[in-house]
Amino acid sequence: MFSLAGQTAVVTGGGRGIGRGISLALAEAGANLVISGRTAETLESTAKEIAGLGADVLVHPCDITSQDAIDGLVAASLDRFGAINCWVNNAGSASAGDVGPLIDLAENQWDRVVDLNLKWTFFAAQAAARAMGEHGGSIINISSRSGSQPCPYTGQYGAAKAGVENLTATMAVEWGHLGIRVNAIAPGVVVTENSQSMRRESTRRRQIETVPLRRLGEVEDIGPLAVYFASDESSWVSGSVVQVNGGSRIPVGTLSYLHHINRKMEEAETQEDAS
């Protein structure tokens, strides 16, 4: 069950965080890997771990936000392995400079986040589907709990992930007859090297309190589902979005935002009473 022996998987953003976890899980299931991202050092270090599992691995550094870069990644993958069986659209995020309330959101903050998480995720999926052609394959989009919940302070990120989930459904319909399956994984809060929000212990505690399974996610929690979506065992599964979030249905971002607003309103009332 779940063997990916002889298959080739491409993972964007495969050098660190959730992408690294997915790459290692796919390699452990027997796939050859192409990992991509902007930072050669992290890619090389993850490639060593992948090779240690006995998989063949190609490192292809690039910024995924252009058609040329996507075409280059496809060409390099086909050159090395002859076919692409699985493509994971994992590269994505909202950087610190793009975080803030919607009322202040600037056009360039919108563009940076929506372009990376929605526009280039779509064009990468399109290029992967064209490369898979007649033999078909599995495309896996990494969404987020933010794709189906309010996402205060990164509203444009939530909108982009909602778009990814909707496109996942349409791509699954349009490409099903080609033998291409398209699914999405929507993680909850997953601790990575880069998780800004994990730095404060109080934030971490509040987040854990909203998770029925009483812990935050680890990158190892996401890879097994990617293996399932890549494998023949999911050959009748397409267009689905699976939440991987410790059972949490509580929108922690909304709670934090409302706490913050309540505190500000209480402070304003206290000041008014004092004057």
Ligand X SMILES: NC(=O)c1ccc[n+]([C@@H]2O[C@H](COP(=O)([O-])OP(=O)(O)OC[C@H]3O[C@@H](n4cnc5c(N)ncnc54)[C@H](OP(=O)(O)O)[C@@H]3O)[C@@H](O)[C@H]2O)c1
Which residues are designated catalytic?
157
Strand partners, 56: none
Q: Which of 77, 64, 72, 70 is nearest to 32 (CA)?
A: 77
User: How far, in Å, CA of 100 to CA of 3, rounded?
Assistant: 43
CB of 207 to ligand X, least distance (A): 10
Q: Which is nearer to ligand X, 105 or 178 (CB)?
A: 105
Spell out the residues 6+ positions from residue 242 whose beta carbon is closer than 8 angstroms to its own. 183, 184, 185, 186, 225
Strand partners, 187: 244
CB of 62 to ligand X, least distance (A): 7
Q: Which of 253, 252, 250, 234 is nearest to 242 (CA)?
A: 234
Q: What is the Rg, in whole angstroms, of the alpha carbon atoms belonging to the chain?
A: 20
DSSP state letter for 114: H
- Residues found near ligand X in the complex (CB under 6 A): 12-13, 15-19, 37-39, 42, 63-65, 90-93, 116, 142, 144, 187, 189-190, 192, 194-195
- Give the CB-side neighbour count of residue 33, counting CA atoms within 13 A: 35
Q: Which is nearer to ligand X, 16 or 181 (CB)?
A: 16
